[in-house]
Chains A and B, each alone.
Chain A
Amino acid sequence: MVPVQWYLLLAAAVFCIGLFGILTRKNALLFLMSVELMLNAANINLVAFSAYWGNVTGQTFSLFTMALAAAEVAVGIGIILVLYRNFEDVDVTAATEMRW
């Protein structure tokens, strides 16, 4: 059995990739994907600890997270569509109307 540390390392790597995407990309769709990566990193952790402790609560919880992620994507796509309609682009740095 693979030790739990490896799962944690994998999850940390996936999370960092997602974070890196959010901090560096301008494309809203890539934002959405990066967020998915971060959510799934969390899911990996949940499932890994669930297996480690022999307790299914963590796995159940990851199912909730997936449902949440699906909902989030629906909202996110909607936002991106509106963004595109208003700015003719999906560049998040272009939409800076809500500042001082």
Chain B
Amino acid sequence: MAGAFDFAPVIVLLPFLSFVVSLAAGKYLPKGGAFGGIAATAGSLAVSAWVFLTVSQGNVYNETLYTWVAGGETSLSFGLLLDPLAAMMLLIVCLVSMLVHVFSLGYMNDEGETGLPRYYAGLGLFTASMLGFVVADNLLMAFMFFELVGLCSYLLIGFWFRQDGPPSAAKKAFLVTRFGDYFFLVGVVAVFATFGTAKFAGEGAFPVLAEEALHGSAEAVRTFGFAPETWFTIVGLLILGGVVGKSAQFPLHTWLPDAMEGPTPVSALIHAATMVAAGVYLVARMYGFYALSPTALGIIALVGGFTALFAATMGVVKKEIKQVLAYSTISQYGYMMLGLGAGGYVAASFHLLTHAFFKALLFLGAGSVIIAMHHDENMWNMGGLKDRMPVTYYTFLSGSLALAGIVPFAGFWSKDEVLYEALVHGLGGSPLLLAGYAMGLVAVFFTGFYTFRMVFLTFHGEPRSETARDPHDVRWNVKGPLVVLGILAATIGFVNMVPVQDLTGIHLEYLHDWLAHGEISALTAEHYSELLHDYAHYTSADVASYVAGAVSLALALAGAGAAHVLYNVPDPDEHTEKLGAVKTLWYNNYYQDEYQVWIAQSLVLPIARVADTFDQGVVDGVVNGVSSVSLFAGSRIRRIQTGVVTNYAVLLSLGLTALLVVFGLVGGWFA
């Protein structure tokens, strides 16, 4: 029977086709190939929806499609794994990508940009690689698409390569994420070396083998002399390196704010909704592996909680609208990591879902503002845009309410659930999680503050520049995606209203149900919670979810209220100046860039010099020494080639004579 699963490869291939077409023939197509991209992503979206429906009937697809290295023990292959998590992510990526393509018509085409075929080719390739990553059925395939995603981000951030900023930002993004990916690569090799397979699910998948090894029943697992728990933690942390890089977690978050140099739709697609999501998605994808290691989970939670707070504080003082959004992105991904580390698999996936929509919305809204402001991103030159661009304002407001976590917008439900998971498991006996929870809770206040500082500075008060008084118009292709995402940002949270369920008893946790079912029981949320209980020893304290929700809502409202008091006035001041040294510290991003440059120049460079000297001196010296023997011998021996025929004749005769003498001696003629 030809079902949705047989057509699943089309989801990845359509955007790839759009990439090829835009690149090869974009010049001859109307709008630089935009319509091809829209059609391709719409097609992918349709097939994804079909897959989603098929998965909702309880089917899971886990097939190897093509084996490109068939070894005895280990084989490397491409395959598809379509389970509820992947189906959900496919919908997110396809929908956001399609809306970004439409928005690009307004942001790039209408603004008269050049190089559009390159732009749409980049978008197509990016979408294809992200989708490939989502459907990957093994870790190596995931890694390959992970790298492709990084490459596309490099190409798209550096789209305006004639200016100074974008190429440098693109290089930075590529190098910083590559630094994390290096650990990921080592982790992939470690997984192969340990388990002999890198499949995520099914018979003999590596999380299953790891679980059996902890039972003490699997022989095929090599742990290189470590106890299995220790070794699995090491492997998990290695893979986490790639996650930290891609999902912009501390300390590898520095690339993301700089990546705002790229076109704004690209920021929406890559740095908000999808590429950065790849890291978190990877952890969720192999959650059955991470759930076995309480240490790895604790580190994930701590890094996440810290990043959430750390980035939120920096977002408070930024002047550019996209910078605020960039730091909010880092902060929100911190929440997802906190959720995953705290054992909230569903909570983190939920936040991934809601964040993808409201952050894409906010970036596209910012893009709309930037069009209106003739590409001025400084919020201090804006103000009063509320009446001049109402569609952008109300959709942006919807996204902001979701980001700040104000009930009933999407972000409230998901962020609250993340914090709730951290709280109950923390009180259940994990102080690390409590630390993460505390940081996440403080970050809620900052989030509310910086979000509404941004809203008030941009849209409220009096216009503070000529451009803000008479902004550029935006067309349907900008407003359409905003409206779609604005509605989603307001409503998508309703799929999982745990506090309301606890309060009223009405069944409302559809996302829990969604992730809890599926043919492969090892991939379900239920199985993960068993693992967390048995191996990570997570126990839940009894806290009512609505109490936790009320606390975070109160903090978010306090933050938003503070912003209202300070900035919702006709002519706001730069109140953050009063923070003095703290503001300087935040504005300079805690000198993260400086210290990373310092590490590179003062520590890594000398080491690299020593390595270079070793390479040039010792390694090359040995090789050159060996070859110099040949060279010297050759230069001497070639002298017998005199070019005089007589000499050759002499040598020939002497050789013949010598041969005869030898034969004679051996043959005994002279005896």
Contact = CB atoms under 8 A, between A and B. Distances in A.
Contacts of B650: 23
A22 B654 CA distance: 13
Interface string A61-100: 0000000000000000000000000000000110111111
Contacts of B653: 19, 23
Interface stretch (B440-448, B520-528, B640-648): B640-648
B646 A22 contact: yes
Interface string B624-648: 0000000000000011011111100
Contacts of B639: 100
A20 B507 CA distance: 115
B646 A95 contact: no
Interface string B516-560: 000000000000000000000000000000000000000000000
Contact of B646 (A92, A97, A98, A99): A92
A31 interface: yes
B646 A93 contact: yes
B643 A97 contact: yes
Contacts, number: 29
Contacts of B638: 100
A19 B652 CA distance: 11
Interface in A7-24: 19, 22-24
A22 B649 contact: yes
A26 B644 CA distance: 10
Size class of B's contact patch? 10 to 19
B643 to A, nearest CB: 3
Contacts of A23: 646, 649-650, 653
B644 to A, nearest CB: 5
A44 B321 CA distance: 107
A84 B645 CA distance: 16
Contacts of A95: 643
Contact of B642 (A19, A22, A24, A99): A99
Contacts of B642: 96, 99
A97 to B, nearest CB: 6
Given A19-B653, A23-B650, A23-B653, A100 B645 contact: no
A95 to B, nearest CB: 7
Nearest to B650: A23
A100 B641 contact: yes
A19 B646 CA distance: 11
B653 to A, nearest CB: 6
A10 to B, nearest CB: 20
A7 to B, nearest CB: 21
A49 B258 CA distance: 97
A38 B463 CA distance: 112
A97 B642 CA distance: 9
A96 B646 contact: no
Contacts of B643: 95-99
A98 B645 CA distance: 10
Contacts of A24: 646
Contacts of A98: 641, 643
Nearest to A34: B649
Contact of B641 (A19, A22, A93, A99): A99
Contact of B644 (A19, A31, A92, A100): A92
Interface in B417-455: none
B645 A31 contact: yes
Nearest to B638: A100
Nearest to A97: B643
Nearest to B634: A100
Nearest to A95: B643
A32 to B, nearest CB: 12
B429 to A, nearest CB: 83
A92 B641 contact: no
A99 B646 CA distance: 13
B660 to A, nearest CB: 13
Contacts of A31: 645
A19 B642 CA distance: 20
A64 to B, nearest CB: 22
A19 B423 CA distance: 105
A39 to B, nearest CB: 15
Contacts of A26: 646
A45 B645 CA distance: 27
A92 B650 CA distance: 14
Interface in B592-643: 638-639, 641-643
B464 to A, nearest CB: 83
Interface string B646-671: 10011001000000000000000000
Nearest to A24: B646
Nearest to B635: A100
Interface string A23-51: 11010000100000000000000000000
A93 B644 contact: yes
Interface string B397-410: 00000000000000
A99 B643 CA distance: 5
B632 to A, nearest CB: 14
A6 B638 CA distance: 44
A92 B639 CA distance: 18
B635 to A, nearest CB: 8
A43 to B, nearest CB: 19
A97 B644 CA distance: 9
Contacts of A93: 644-646
Contacts of A99: 641-643
Contacts of A19: 653
B325 to A, nearest CB: 72
A97 B650 CA distance: 19
Interface in B563-618: none
Nearest to A92: B645
Contacts of B641: 98-100
Interface in B153-186: none
Nearest to A99: B643
Nearest to A26: B646
Contacts of A97: 643
28 contacts: A19-B653, A22-B646, A22-B649, A23-B646, A23-B649, A23-B650, A23-B653, A24-B646, A26-B646, A31-B645, A92-B644, A92-B645, A92-B646, A93-B644, A93-B645, A93-B646, A95-B643, A96-B642, A96-B643, A96-B644, A97-B643, A98-B641, A98-B643, A99-B641, A99-B642, A99-B643, A100-B638, A100-B639
Q: Which 9 A-B pairs rank lowest in CB-CB distance, beginning with the nearest?
A: A96-B643, A99-B643, A100-B638, A92-B645, A99-B641, A22-B649, A93-B644, A100-B641, A98-B643
Given A22-B649, A26-B646, A96-B642, 7 more contacts: A19-B653, A22-B646, A93-B645, A97-B643, A98-B643, A100-B638, A100-B641
